[in-house]
Amino acid sequence: LSLHKNALELTRELVRMDTMNPPGAEEEAVSHLGRLLENAGFRTTYSEYAPGRTSLVARLSGAPTGKPAICFAGHIDTVPLGARAWTRDPFAADINNGKMYGRGTTDMKGGVAAYVTAAIELARKPRGKADIVLVIAAGEETGCTGSAHLAQRKILGSAGAMVIAEPTSNYPIMGHKGALWLEVETVGITAHGSMPELGVNAIYKAARAISKIEKLEFEVAAHPQLGRSTVNVGTVTGGLNLNSVPDQAQFTVDARTVPEHDHPRILTGLQTYLGEDVTVKRIVDLQGVWTEMSEPFIELVCRLITPMIGEIPTPRGAPYFTDASVLKPAYGEPPTVILGPGDMRMAHQTDEYCETREIETAAAVYYDLARIWGE
């Protein structure tokens, strides 16, 4: 009972701390969690990738048996409130009819509170055979910046299994596509609009490149659950004014890729395909992830969650990407499940809420999972 109550109370505390990204300002919430974990016996390492943009890795040592650690990970930043007015206070975390309202209740302060509470509860018990590692990342919503920084600074330590607590209504999700976001630039020579023959039109070059991307079909096989790799041109900008030949244009490309689709190969392939007239630059590079359900860790997750969700899970992927794109390779590809409280359709919505029951269920499952992993 105290596990449940504490998970809800901690979610409320986190929702009341504004971590909307931009600007982010995760430090207050992360320090709060760090203090709670330190008091429970965790060793903490903070990492700031920019002022106030703090991430945290906390580790509780198990008995020295060599059994690899179990890691729980998530992000503490949220998206902004959006243009539409909320009918509820987004920072009050009011509970009404079993729903807690507020920005980040679903995505994903409920999930973070659930695993922090479960880990603190476990720290009160005799030591298990495995370390418990918690990752609380800043700056996920704008491209997993916080976790990338943790990986780069090599302060994640090691882990042999991972749970990403993003909202899945506590249904275990086996992976998701990757995202490769690119900016493509073309240059020309400007001239007066009345004498275009004296210039080179950068927008025409961009238009030709965009037409080629529209016809592009990736040659990688479709993933049984995630489908095909796709590509979309999202924005175009260029030109100085109406009556000049533009000497510069750029557009952005959003490629969503199946896990086996190698991003460096896409990048060089695209540069060759579009020709020397364009420059392709990487903005965000997150590889897709997938774990087979036959992994013993996943079998354990499914066994624990089946009575709680009332069905035997089948392989499913998520439409969004998560910190797993960064953390899974950084930890050496451990089996990874995405499982957390909240309906994923609620993420980023006006009047975002999370069913309190789901936060309680998640805390209970995380607790059992870490306890059994450490046996």
Q: Candidates 65-73, 166-174, 242-250, 284-292 — which segment interacts with Zn ion by CB under 5 A? A: 166-174
* Among the listed residues 108, 148, 179, 298, the single contact to Zn ion using CB under 5 A: 108
Residue nearer to Zn ion on the CB measure, 166 or 355? 166
Residue 326 interacts with Zn ion (CB under 5 A): yes or no:
no
Per-residue HEC secondary structure of the chain comes to: CHHHHHHHHHHHHHHCCCCECCCCCCHHHHHHHHHHHHHCCCEEEEEECCCCCEEEEEEECCCCCCEEEEEEEEECCECCCCCCCCCCCCCCCCEECCEEECCCHHHHHHHHHHHHHHHHHHHCCCCCCEEEEEEEECCCCCCCHHHHHHHHCCCCCCCCEEEECCCCCCCCECEECEEEEEEEEEECECCECCCHHHCECHHHHHHHHHHHHHHCCCCCCCECCCECCEEEEEEEEECCCCCECCCEEEEEEEEEECCCCCHHHHHHHHHHHHCCCEEEEEEEEECCEECCCCCHHHHHHHHHHHHHHCCCCCCCEECCCCCHHHHHHHCCCCCEEECCCCCHHHCCCCCCEEEHHHHHHHHHHHHHHHHHHCC
Residue nearer to Zn ion on the CB measure, 108 or 180? 108
Q: By the 8 A CB rule, do 284 and 181 touch? A: yes
Taking CB under 5 A as the rule, which mask of x and - marks residues 56-95 in contact with Zn ion?
----------------------------------------
Residue nearer to Zn ion on the CB measure, 69 or 108? 108
Residue 340 C-beta: closest distance to Zn ion, Å: 9
Q: Which residue is nearest to Zn ion (CB)?
A: 107
Residue 165 C-beta: closest distance to Zn ion, Å: 9
Q: Candidates 2-10, 57-65, 103-111, 306-314 — which segment interacts with Zn ion by CB under 5 A? A: 103-111
Residue 177 C-beta: closest distance to Zn ion, Å: 15
Residue nearer to Zn ion on the CB measure, 107 or 121? 107
Report the length, in residues, of the chain: 375
Q: Candidates 3-11, 142-150, 165-173, 218-226 — which segment interacts with Zn ion by CB under 5 A? A: 165-173
Residue 342 C-beta: closest distance to Zn ion, Å: 9
Residue 107 interacts with Zn ion (CB under 5 A): yes or no:
yes
Give the distance from CA 55 to its chain's centroid: 14
Taking CB under 5 A as the rule, which mask of x and - marks residues 123-162 in contact with Zn ion?
----------------------------------------
Residue nearer to Zn ion on the CB measure, 108 or 330? 108
Taking CB under 5 A as the rule, which mask of x and - marks residues 279-308 in contact with Zn ion?
------------------------------
Residue nearer to Zn ion on the CB measure, 107 or 355? 107
Q: Candidates 7-15, 102-110, 226-234, 305-313 — which segment interacts with Zn ion by CB under 5 A? A: 102-110
Residue 8 interacts with Zn ion (CB under 5 A): yes or no:
no
Q: Using alpha carbons, select from 126, 124, 119, 78 the residue that is nearest to residue 102.
A: 78
Residue 78 C-beta: closest distance to Zn ion, Å: 8
**How many residues bind Zn ion, per CB under 5 A?**
3
Q: Which residues bind Zn ion (CB under 5 A)?
A: 107-108, 166
